[in-house]
Structure 1
């Protein structure tokens, strides 16, 4: 358990009901990441390391929705069940929740876009981000690229992400792109070795 050190944080990306089975924009096998993420959460809590969680928190008329000409069905509308974290994901009470996609006219795949995430990370002295959640080929991809641009060391928790895969290889391409940007693939076994 000596892998973690001061300056580390776990970033849980968009694990929300609408992206899970039964949701309006369910990610295939999305529920499978919850036990994996929970293992990471437990380690970070035990180490008293900070946990951040992003969430889509869209207005009902968000530009990404079909009704507004966007590519997606309505999802994660603020204050609805679909936007909530699932009860099976036990985020610690100290988690800092970052809402994104709150402006009707702006898409925001990245947890950094139009949010205070970078400010919170800076205030906490974070230099290394461990990133898991949904979905590999959209919000994980953009969040990781922005984190690298902001000079965070990023560990991609490859056993705790799943892709939408609109095209069959989108998730694999996204992982390749993140690694090319400097993200380090990491699995649970490596963290606790």
Structure 2
């Protein structure tokens, strides 16, 4: 049975001092790096996603000068900028596939993006025979939630490693985790992985 690790949006703009900073983002990057050092060999596929928005335009209404923080956001993770790069505390040397999402449009799930060679996440998982995936990253209440739900919809057994995620706010993060559990995800700490 093939396993995958899905690392969602551990980027400078989503960690401390970023355009959409999530408290604890740097700590999550460090913990994911430590987890990879100990467990990378347990995964046939390790996919890391990044928001990679166009510099021009509003990216399909995703960027706004007066954002509602539900459907529209301040400018963030613009392609080729420091904010769009992986947090430097995240080691990416064991990542097998890098995914960029949100070019010119809103995109929350890594399944909406493409790898460097133009493949979808679903195609990568299918080609590798992945039956189970562990999901980690930022932000619990947005892109982690969307990516995990899409993995479940793809037929993959999902575990969310709860000590390797960070959310924007406690209440929506708790609601997202409850939704994921109801959808069939297992919520565990990385020590159980």
TM-score by length of 1: 0.88
Question: How far has the Cα of 1:58 moved from its partner?
Answer: 0.4
Relative to 1, partners in 2 of residues 1:33 and 1:93: Cα closer, same or farther, differing over 3 Å?
A: closer
The one of 178, 181, 188 equivalent to 1:186 is 188
Runs of 4+ with deviation above 6 angstroms: none
Q: Is the 8 A contact 2:26 2:87 kept in 1?
A: no
**Structure-2 change in CA distance of 1:146 and 1:54 (3 Å):** same
Shift of 1:89: 0.8
Task: Report the counterpart of residue 50 of structure 2 in structure 1.
Answer: 55
Partner of 2:99, secondary structure, is strand
SS at match of 1:66: coil
2:36 counterpart of 1:41: yes
Cα RMSD, aligned residues only = 1.7
**Count of aligned pairs between the two proteins:** 182
TM-score calculated relative to the size of structure 2:
0.88
Query: Cα deviations across residues 16-55 of structure 1 (Å, max 9, x unaligned)?
Result: 0000111101012211212221232123323363211011
Q: Secondary structure at the match of 2:77?
A: coil
Instruction: Tell me the distance in 2 between the aligned counterparts of 1:100 and 1:121.
Output: 17
| Structure 2 residue aligned with 1:112 | 111
Aligned partner of residue 53 in structure 2, secondary structure: coil
Picking from 23, 26, 33, the partner of 1:31 is 26
Measured against aligned partners, the alpha-carbon deviations of 1:58-114 in whole angstroms (never above 9, x if no partner) come to 002222111496621100000110000022111125520011111x2x311011125
